Structure 1
Amino acid sequence: MGKDKNQNNQNNPSSDSLDLYVAKLAFVGASIATLGDGLTAVAAGIALEALEKKEQSNNNSPQSQNGQSKQLEKMQKQIDDLINELNQVKKMFRW
């Protein structure tokens, strides 16, 4: 019996490599989903900013425009950081 089990493992090495491939694929999928969630949060922030800007359109003081500009720059940096992370994940898993 033990001999049959040992022979079965020797005859099926691709099962281990398949399991490794599946695990890597699951990791990539989870990473992409996490980055997608981050992009969704950034998009929600941009939408919120747009609604606030629309509501405050009567208040066009230079201070509020400067603050909005800084917030938009911060959001753009967050988007850029998420894109860079996604590119790093893609580089890790190129075969």
Structure 2
Amino acid sequence: MNKDNQNNQSTETSEIFAAKLALFGTALSTLGDGIQTLAAGIALEILENANNKTLPDQTDQLRQMEDRMQNQINQLTRKLEKMKRGMR
């Protein structure tokens, strides 16, 4: 009876660990998808405006987009860390 109880606890612990690992993997994948989407949007915006802007304007625009992208990456990272802390 005791051996069965230990096996059940071990299975539950393994299942919980697997679920936490799956959640973390999904969150990490979502973060990667978000970054990829931001990069694609920035690339599209640059291509659309390439013919209409002078070089100094493009440089300034790139800096602004980099700042926005970095802010969004920071937000996503904080959310991921918060989720990670919640799993403990």
Regions of 4+ moved over 6 Å: none
* RMSD over equivalenced CA pairs, Å: 3.1
Task: Please tell me whether residue 81 in structure 1 is matched to residue 57 in structure 2.
Answer: no
Unmatched runs of 5 consecutive residues or more in structure 1: 1-6
CA–CA distance in 1 between the matches of 2:79 and 2:13?
A: 26
Larger radius of gyration: 1
Unmatched runs of 5 consecutive residues or more in structure 2: none
* Count of aligned pairs: 85
CA–CA distance in 2 between the matches of 1:26 and 1:33?
A: 10
User: Partner of 2:43 in structure 1?
Assistant: 47
Task: Please tell me whether residue 14 in structure 1 is matched to residue 35 in structure 2.
Answer: no
| Structure whose residues are more often helix by fraction | 2
Percent identity, aligned pairs only, is 36
TM-score, structure 2 as length reference: 0.68
Deviations 1:30-63 (A, max 9, x none): 1111111111111111212322342223597x7x
